[in-house]
Structure 1
Amino acid sequence: MKKFLLVYGKMLITTLTILVLTSIVVNIPSENNLVTKVMFFLEKLLILVPVIVLYRLFEKNNWGLGMKQMNPLSNFSKGALLGLISITISLTISILSVKHMIVLHHINDQLILSLIYFLVVSFLVSLSEEVLFRGYIQGLASFYYNYKVGIVFSTIFFVAMHGLNNGITLFAFLELVLGGIFLGILRAKTNGLWFGIGFHFLWDFIQVGIFGLSLSEQKGISLLSVTFLEDNILLTGGVWGPEASVITTFVLALLLLSIIIRGFISEKNDKLNKLKAAQ
């Protein structure tokens, strides 16, 4: 019980500190678009501050946060490619399943600057969230218990903090649970964060930068503007966006199932190789 309170207490202190710091920034009034964007950057960077401070003070010599791993660029690229393919398939099916309107914006300096902004925002979001949930929270629980408990803890906190957003639905909740477990397994299997950061990065960027979806917090011009002309929440995700659609939930379920099966096959092959070596 003492160990649980220690682990949970550290997680709770970290997340509450983050919520306080970010809420201060969010509630700063501003009608200037540039200031709003800077505040959004600051909000995401503030997520990292309590994590890094508490990790360096109490955990640095015990376990790794996950930023230092073998072949980080390769892991990041593979994760980004998987995120790109997964969300593109999901969004394309969602769009084609309902009546819609698509506008292709002309490529000019304003659009290019906006896409760069979305790239930076998407990277900051993926970096800060993966460091917090899969780096600190999962790493902490994995050290004191095991990696499975770590995945459970990181997923619970991931769902809880995202659940504070408006418009959450059953499928939004399922998407968060499946996504949290999937990213948690990636963290455990790759022994680092960069694969998950890459996946999370392009998963977000494709939505906001290419398709122009889920733009409530991030103002700018996307390559496409997609408008759903019928209110089918199961297929469009409603206020939450296509991430909360039944299609995205199914895609994430397939990804999760595939990584579990691959892990099972890999463990089975390792056991067979050990038996052969023993003979």
Structure 2
Amino acid sequence: METKTVGQKILYFPLTKIIIGLIVCIGTLVILKLGIEKLLGLFNLEKTTITLLSNTLSIFIVLFSYTTLYQYYEKRSITELSSKNLAKNLSLGIALGVGLQSLTIFVIYLYGGFSIISVNSFIPLIPSLIGFTAVAVFEEIVFRGIIFRITEEKLGSYIAMVISGLLFGFAHLFNPNSSITSALSIAIEAGLLFGAAYIYTRNLWFPIAMHFAWNFTQSNIFGAATSGSIIGKSLFTTKIEGSVLLTGGDFGPEASIQVIVFCVITTVILMKLNHKQNKVIKPYWSK
């Protein structure tokens, strides 16, 4: 067996791999996106068009930087972004994302807190569709592709789910109208769920699709605040009112009690399936 030098041990230490991944992927995106937006600005394009093109290119930048880095760094094929079963992973993710959000809004409706005022055109929602796709790709690459995946290799699936979930929730603490409670809600309902979804397929397209559908349905279909922000345009102009426990208040339905319940149930089901199919990884000290 080849003995690794101290330098190699440091280079391939899990925390090092995570830090390098975050620097490369986030740094590349920030630098190139700023450059792209400045370049597009020279053509006197509308701000909406620039944002649309910038978000579209951002998707490819993040995917390319992640794939290129870890292909050479870890000397392997990037199977977590494989196109195998792509249609199945995307459709299942979208179905779950839409379903969970619809159930959440349905509970608010049952208690008389949700009403539709008008139905609008879908065309103005296209920029948000691209924008939320970019957000889903970026956040899943960072939190599941880098933080969860690498942490799981040493600490096992459950500890990796907790760590990546808490970091995911903490990242939302800087959003408008956020609080410790809303950040913990995001950590529990989405952080754990997306981690379980990744384990289920060992493919990032499943949680990416779920993440996208979750945000888009919440904001651009039902017109609710997403992680504390009001997007503006939605398929339905709606009125959401009532108990903060059910509506999530100014942060949006993601801070509601029912979404936590629905997502925890889904997470438990996925983890039971993961155990049944021997997909759960044990921490290194238990192997």
* Pairwise TM-score range, normalised by the shorter structure: 0.7 to 0.9
Kindly provide the amino acid, as one letter, of the partner of residue 87 in structure 1: Q
Q: Of residues 99, 104, 107 in structure 2, which corresponds to 1:85? A: 99
1:227 is aligned to 239
Does the Cα contact within 8 Å between 2:28 and 2:65 map onto a contact in 1? yes
Q: Which has the higher contact order (CA 8 A, sep 6+)?
A: 1
Rounded Cα–Cα distance in structure 2 between residues aligned with 1:245 and 1:71: 33
Does the Cα contact within 8 Å between 1:134 and 1:154 map onto a contact in 2? yes
- Residue 204 (structure 1) aligned with residue 242 (structure 2): no
Rounded Cα–Cα distance in structure 1 between residues aligned with 2:47 and 2:271: 47
1:192 is aligned to 203
Does the Cα contact within 8 Å between 2:182 and 2:254 map onto a contact in 1? yes
Kindly provide the amino acid, as one letter, of the partner of residue 239 in structure 2: T
Rounded Cα–Cα distance in structure 1 between residues aligned with 2:192 and 2:244: 24
Rounded Cα–Cα distance in structure 2 between residues aligned with 1:75 and 1:5: 29
Q: Of residues 106, 116, 119 in structure 1, which corresponds to 2:129? A: 119
Q: Of residues 87, 94, 98 in structure 1, which corresponds to 2:108? A: 94
How many percent identity over aligned positions? Answer: 25
2:150 is aligned to 140
Rounded Cα–Cα distance in structure 2 between residues aligned with 1:259 and 1:187: 10
Kindly provide the amino acid, as one letter, of the partner of residue 225 in structure 1: T
Rounded Cα–Cα distance in structure 1 between residues aligned with 2:14 and 2:85: 34
| Offset from partner CA, 1:2-42 (integer Å, 9 cap, x none) | 535424533553576379659969x9999944445555556
Structure 2: state its 5+ residue gaps.
Answer: 1-8, 279-287
After superposition, the CA RMSD in angstroms is: 3.4
Kindly provide the amino acid, as one letter, of the partner of residue 177 in structure 2: G
Rounded Cα–Cα distance in structure 1 between residues aligned with 2:56 and 2:162: 29
2:266 is aligned to 255
Does the Cα contact within 8 Å between 1:172 and 1:244 map onto a contact in 2? yes
TM-score, normalised relative to structure 2: 0.73
TM-score, normalised relative to structure 1: 0.75
Corresponding pairs, count: 259
Residue 198 of structure 1: how far off its partner (Å): 2.0
1:213 is aligned to 224
Kindly provide the amino acid, as one letter, of the partner of residue 178 in structure 2: I
The residue matched to 1:163 in structure 2 has which SS?
A: helix
Pair 1:189–1:69, CA change in 2 (3 A):
farther
Residue 81 of structure 1: how far off its partner (Å): 1.2
Structure 1: state its 5+ residue gaps.
Answer: 268-279
Pair 1:174–1:153, CA change in 2 (3 A):
closer
Pair 1:64–1:151, CA change in 2 (3 A):
farther
| Offset from partner CA, 1:173-195 (integer Å, 9 cap, x none) | 23322211111121122121122
